């Protein structure tokens, strides 16, 4: 029998330790490299933190699998068993430019089902966490279940980079949605934008393309509060591939999909 309470406590402890390492790094010069393009950034801290988690997990849970943004984990072809999905620093561009508005994101899944979600806003020392069926929390405080709302009264988090991807996606399809909402916001960290949905600070979050480690933890936290997390076609997420993302309060999720997203080839 898997002791999920133990994994949950252990994972939170490692996240706090990783956060402390990141805070210490503010005193030293970062080593910054680019990945797929000039704006796709990675630092020595992204790599060090991922390797920190991997060495801890391999030591204590050698049978578990690991999917990590920086590629030090396993090359997975299935989600069978227990899989840790880790984004050591989500919002790397913010981390480099702002030293804030980034988070550690860690999800633990069993046979593709989210069991634990932990997102740590290192600078604010705010730990958002949930274990399936056990409630969701910010530090020690319970988060309240999400309630229904309308698009007219909603703030929607989205990122303007979709205008750059118009060869693939007709971004004009987003205009009615943006006009209908009360307001839009963009924060530059998918993990934080997902916890903002969980905490009710925004009502929905849309992204054209994210990877499994960006959303694994946030999906557990939002679903624990009754919110919905799918791709922009309304389909269940596939944690083995990049996909679009659409997280929202109950009711709002269905109505945005029906009224604003169904024409799009997301």
Binding site for ligand 2AM (CB under 6 A): 40, 69, 87, 90-92, 159, 188-190, 209-211, 214, 242
Residue 210 interacts, among Ca ion, ligand 2AM, none and using kind-specific CB cut-offs from 5 to 8 Å, with ligand 2AM
The interface partner of residue 107, options being ligand 2AM, Ca ion, none and the CB cut-off 5 to 8 Å by kind, is none
- From the CA atom positions of the chain, what is the Rg in Å? 18
Q: Which two tokens stand for residue 203?
A: 């009502």
Helix, strand, coil shares of the chain, percent, nearest 5, are: 35, 25, 40
- Of ligand 2AM, Ca ion, none, which one does residue 224 interact with (CB within 5 to 8 Å by kind)? none
CB 45 within 8 A of CB 17: no
Closer of 189 and 230 to ligand 2AM (Cβ)? 189
What separation, in Å, do the N-terminal and C-terminal C-alpha atoms of the chain show? Answer: 40
Nearer Cβ to Ca ion (110/214): 214
Q: Does 193 bind Ca ion (CB under 5 A)?
A: no
Partner whose binding site includes residue 110, from ligand 2AM, Ca ion, none (CB under 5 to 8 Å by kind)? none
d(CA 32, CA 103): 18
| CA angle in degrees (0–180, nearest 5) for 111-117-120 | 150
Q: At its nearest, how many Å lie between ligand 2AM and the CB of residue 90?
A: 4
**Angle (deg, nearest 10), helices 190-198 and 212-224:** 10
Print the binding letters for residues 65-104 with Ca ion: x by CB under 5 A, - otherwise.
Answer: ----------------------x--x--------------
**Positions in the binding site for Ca ion (CB under 5 A):** 87, 90, 214
């Amino acid at each position: 029998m898997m002791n999920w309470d133990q994994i949950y406590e252990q994972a939170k402890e490692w996240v706090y330790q990783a956060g402390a390492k990141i805070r210490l790094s503010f005193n030293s010069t970062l080593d910054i490299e680019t990945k797929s393009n000039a704006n796709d950034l990675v630092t020595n801290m992204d790599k060090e933190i991922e390797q920190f988690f991997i060495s801890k997990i391999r030591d204590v849970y050698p049978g578990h699998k690991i999917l990590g943004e920086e590629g030090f984990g396993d090359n997975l072809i299935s989600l069978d068993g227990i899989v840790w999905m880790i984004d050591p620093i989500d919002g790397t561009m913010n981390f480099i430019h702002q030293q804030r508005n980034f988070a550690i994101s860690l999800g633990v899944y069993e046979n593709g089902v989210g069991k634990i979600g932990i997102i740590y806003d290192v600078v604010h020392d705010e730990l958002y966490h949930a274990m399936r069926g056990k409630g969701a929390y910010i530090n020690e405080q319970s988060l309240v279940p999400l309630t229904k709302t309308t698009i007219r009264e909603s703030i929607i988090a989205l990122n303007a980079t979709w205008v750059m991807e118009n060869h693939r996606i007709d971004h004009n399809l987003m205009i009615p949605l943006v006009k209908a909402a009360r307001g839009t916001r963009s924060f530059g960290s998918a993990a934080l934008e997902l916890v903002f949905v969980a905490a009710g600070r925004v009502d929905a979050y849309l992204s054209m393309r994210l990877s499994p480690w960006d959303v694994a933890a946030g999906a557990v936290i939002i679903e624990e509060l009754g919110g919905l997390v799918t791709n922009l076609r309304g389909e269940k997420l596939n944690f083995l591939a990049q996909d679009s993302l659409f997280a929202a309060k109950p009711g709002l999720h269905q109505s945005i999909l029906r009224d604003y997203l169904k024409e799009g080839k997301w």
